[in-house]
Structure formats: structure tokens, C-alpha cells
Structure 1
Amino acid sequence: MSTPSERLPHQAAATSFHRLAYGGNPFQYGELYVPEGPGPHPVVELIHGGFWRKAYDLTLMQGLAQNLVAQGMAAWNIEYRRIGNPGGAWPGTFLDVAAATDYLNHLAPIYQLDMQRVVAVGHSAGGHLACWLACRHLLPSGSAIHTSETPLKLRGVISQAGVVDLEQAWQLGLSQNVVQALLQGSPAEQPVRYAEASPAVLLPSGVPQILVHGSIDDIVPVSISRSYAHRASATGDNVQLLELPEADHFILIDPNSEAWQLTIKGIKHLLG
């Protein structure tokens, strides 16, 4: 289920790069970056955003992946079916992200990955999916997006301007009411889907979470992270909100930005 190893342009020779399929669909693959030297290597799973739409892909996170591997961490930059792809949105988007995450158990002995130190980092819609991964062990076994009784246990999660409350995002009508397309209905029409797909409803996750959000983000308002942090804390979760003054939506995924350096600091804290 893998293709031959490749190298990205300008990639340092001290790392290896592998494009690996975790399923049979063309969009079910990830890019694994492994640092030089003996493992086991801590792993950062990267989940790109783009409001779950097919127009955006994992190239958004490639710069972050290269930055992580240069600092001695393996990076698993995943692709998944999105709105507009056959099988995307509910439930395929969720099934893919779960499968890509659990596939790390298969990759661990091959690439010397440390399954005790896996952190998920997602931007925008990817932030939603990262936080959902932390909560998915709470799904009922009959759920359409329940995939395992023993999902991979994350060491922590970082949401970068994440859409972590789907009902609130629906109320705000974000991106031409994209949540309606993701879950194929409103909260009144699809209450079970909203309950099972929204991290804000599934809390407490029991997984440490760091929320990074810019104060002038005009794509995903910081109010979503503020309310989520309050709700998560109230349930007993270990959650920290880093609100960055004068930061917009996309600076968070610029590997040369101070915002990304703060995220790196959070990743290292979660990894221990």
C-alpha cells in the first residue's frame, strides 16, 4: 500500500520522505517525513484545513512538515476525502481521518515511530478534525463514524484556528454555511451527526489540548476557540487557549512565523 520513497524539492538529505496509502481510495494517503538517526521518533500528525472542501489539500501543511522533521520529529501529513470528492463529507471525511491516524500503528515498526508520543495538529477544519480525534473514543459503537474500540491514543492535540464547535459554526454561517454541506443538514435536521462530529459536544476528551487562534482572524472567529476552551475547562479537560494579537488565519501555518514557533513550543510541551 505504499509508493516508492520520493524527495521533495529543497528537502534536506538528513530526512526520508514516503508517500503511503492507508486505504484504497486515491485520496486515502499521507506523506511521512522521518528524521535521520535511530528512533523511536515522536510523531506529529498534520491535518490540513480548507473548510473540508476538495479545493484544498495537504500541500498547505508541507512547509510545517519539513520544519518539524528538521527538528527531529516525524511528521505524518494526511490527505482525506473532502466535500466534492466521491465519498467525502459525512461520513467519509471522518472515517478517513480516523483510518489515517490508526495506520500509524502499522507504520511504527517500519519507520521507528513512538506510538506513546503522537500529537495531532490541525489548521481550521483540520483543527476540528484533530480535536475530534481526541474525542472519538467516546462515540457509541453504533455510530456511522465509529471505527475502533481501541483508537490510537493521542498525547495531545493542537488546534490552529479550529472550527471546533460545528453548531456554532453553523449558526455563524461560516464559509457559505459549509457545515451544512459537511453534515448534510442543519442541527435540527441531523442532531445525531452534530453530536457525534463536533468536539464541543463530545467533551471531555481526556486529552490535553492547546488552541492557537489569532485575534484578527476573519475566517474562523476567535470566539469559537474562546467558547470551546471555556466549555472544555468546565468539563475538566486540560485545555489552554493561546490568543495571538494581530494574527490572522493563515499566519498560523507559515513555518517562518512567530505563531508557528509558539505552536512548536506547544508540540514539544505535549510530547514531553
Structure 2
Amino acid sequence: MTVRSLAALPQPKPAEIIRYGEADSQVVELFLPRTRPDGLMPAVVIVHGGCWRAKVAGRELVRPAAGALAQKGFAVWSVGYRRIDEEGGGFPGTFADVAAAIDLLATQAAERGIDRGRIAFYGHSAGAHLAMWAAGRHRLAKDSVLAASAPLRPRGVVSAGGLLDLQGQAARIRDVCGIDPAESLANPAAKEPFAETSPVDLLPTGVRMTLVHGIYDDIAYPALGLAYAQRARRAGDQAEIFVVPNAGHFEVIAPGTRAFEIVAAALEAFTR
């Protein structure tokens, strides 16, 4: 599956667009089930990919997935954020945006009928990096500009075709995205520049994680996910990895595919 074939899928419209900043990218798209379940709804926070660059892709990439998850009974909180080629993006802006959007959900969950205790994160590609980072940000040093006193911790996180080790995968990121993570996604003033921004440096998180990769993914190939899952398990975290046959980089966000079924099943298991 290609970006073009993904774009050909139905693009459901969000029930509401919620602004959390002044920039065009600083919005959340909220998708809701057509029929509200009895009681509070579980929720999925989706973070879209696109090589951390506005010129590559945005929230439209995950609208089919968001609509499909809403049909399964989830409230879906699809996070927009400033990318590295937008004013204010990069470090710390991109990360601060994702955190702010998620913390907004934490404060608004009750009034929107969302069960704050049943929230999972789900990110694709570069968005998987940000979703996994958000799941581990409670591990940030207290003096980090990105630290928060009580960040929302999910019940679990799904990385779909994720690039999760900014330093160890820097060459891969340069090849597929045309960016140097040391210049765009790290804290240049820190002794360890990636300590605040790379998910692998925040292990262990204590958050259950599922990694899903298509076997033919030529952007974030399965070996990258396996290496991360092994490090997470050695650190003491619960990590599963699924390598899906006959799938590439985009099936993991495409409803109707086996890869997306695995993603949805993991999210449902996390939020039971």
C-alpha cells in the first residue's frame, strides 16, 4: 500500500476540531462513535506520521484509522503538532505540542464522557516515535523543559511502523526522511542530546507496548522494531512485536487490512 492508495480510503470528518494553540497545526481532531456506549468511553490518542515534516503529511494520514476506531466504540483524539519545518517546531516545540494536546485530553476527559483510566496511545512512523515518547515522558528529568508534574500515562501504546531510537537509527532517518535528528529532534544544549526526546532513552516506562511492522516495510523495517522490543523487555517493560505478512509501511493505519486488525485488537486489549 502507498500513500496514494491510503488517501483513496474514505476520509471521515471529525465530530469536533479543538484548538490548543495559535498555529494551524496546533489542533486536535475528535472522532466519536455514532452510537455512544453506556457509561464512559475508552479513548485512543493517535499521533500521525510524515517524517516530522509538514511538507510530507499531516492529520489526514490517520483519518481512516480514526474513523474505524470510532466505529469500534472509541473516542479518538487525533493530535496535530508543529513539525520541524514549521515555525516553533523541532525541539522543544514539537514535543511540547504533543504533550499539551494529550494533557488537554486529561483535563477534558470527564466532560466529554471519556474514561481517563482507559486511554491508549497509537502512533504511526514518526508519530509512533512521538506516541512512545509521550508514554514515557514521566521519566524525564525534573529540570527538563519538557517535564510535567503529572503527565497522562496510557494503559498501553501501539507503535505502528515506528522509528523509536533517534540516535541509533539516525542514519536510517536521514535516508528515509532527509533530516538529521541531531539537528532537529534533540536538545543541542544537553550533555546527552537525545535523553529528552528519544523513546529508547526513556526505558523502562512501565507502560505496556505493542509494536506492529509490515514485513515489507521499507521505511521502518521489522528489525528496527525487534531491536527496540528486545531493549524494552531487557529493561523490564512488557513489549510485544507483530510482523505482519503481505504488509508494508501503510497497512498498519489502513482499515480493512490484517495489520490494522492487529493494531485495533491491541488497543482494545489495553483499554478493557
Aligned AA (1:176)? G
Scaled by the length of structure 2, the TM-score of the pair is 0.89
Aligned AA (1:201)? D
Stretches of structure 1 lacking an aligned partner (at least 5 in a row): 1-8
Aligned AA (2:244)? L
Q: C-alpha separation between the residues in 1 aligned to 2:187 and 2:110?
A: 42
Alpha-carbon deviations, 1:102-134, whole Å to 9, x = none?
101232122101100000000000111111111
Q: C-alpha separation between the residues in 2 aligned to 1:65 and 1:223?
A: 27
Contact 1:163 1:169 in 2 (8 A): yes
Deviates further, 175-184 or 104-113: 175-184
Stretches of structure 2 lacking an aligned partner (at least 5 in a row): 1-9
Give the match's secondary structure for 1:247: coil
**Aligned counterpart, 1:260:** 260
Contact 1:183 1:190 in 2 (8 A): no
Q: C-alpha separation between the residues in 2 aligned to 1:145 and 1:198?
A: 13
- Residue pairs, 1:199-210, within 5 angstroms: 199-210=199-210
Identity %: 36
Contact 1:83 1:181 in 2 (8 A): no
Paired residues in the alignment total 258
Scaled by the length of structure 1, the TM-score of the pair is 0.89
**Aligned counterpart, 2:70:** 69
**Aligned counterpart, 1:115:** 116
**Aligned counterpart, 1:182:** 184
Give the match's secondary structure for 2:178: helix
Q: C-alpha separation between the residues in 2 aligned to 1:10 and 1:190?
A: 41
Relative distance call for 1:20 and 1:261 in structure 2 (3 A) is: same
CA RMSD of aligned residues (A): 2.0
**Aligned counterpart, 1:3:** none
- Residue pairs, 1:1-272, within 5 angstroms: 17-35=15-33, 36-37=35-36, 38-55=38-55, 56-146=57-147, 148-172=148-172, 173-174=174-175, 175-183=177-185, 191-272=191-272
Aligned AA (1:261)? E
The runs of 4+ residues in structure 1 deviating greater than 4 Å are: 9-12
Q: C-alpha separation between the residues in 2 aligned to 1:261 and 1:139?
A: 33
Q: C-alpha separation between the residues in 2 aligned to 1:183 and 1:104?
A: 24
The structure, 1 or 2, with the larger RCO (C-alpha pairs under 8 Å, 6+ apart) is 2
Give the match's secondary structure for 2:158: strand
CA shift, 1:168, in A, is 1.7
Alpha-carbon deviations, 1:34-72, whole Å to 9, x = none?
223243110001100011001211010111111011111
Give the match's secondary structure for 1:232: helix
Deviates further, 111-120 or 22-31: 22-31
CA shift, 1:26, in A, is 2.5
Alpha-carbon deviations, 1:179-210, whole Å to 9, x = none?
23422688xx8653311111111100000000
Contact 2:158 2:211 in 1 (8 A): yes
Q: C-alpha separation between the residues in 1 aligned to 2:89 and 2:207?
A: 27
Relative distance call for 1:192 and 1:110 in structure 2 (3 A) is: same
Contact 2:122 2:160 in 1 (8 A): yes
Contact 1:28 1:81 in 2 (8 A): yes
Contact 2:41 2:75 in 1 (8 A): yes
Contact 1:49 1:123 in 2 (8 A): yes
Contact 1:44 1:118 in 2 (8 A): yes
Contact 1:81 1:92 in 2 (8 A): yes
Relative distance call for 1:184 and 1:211 in structure 2 (3 A) is: closer
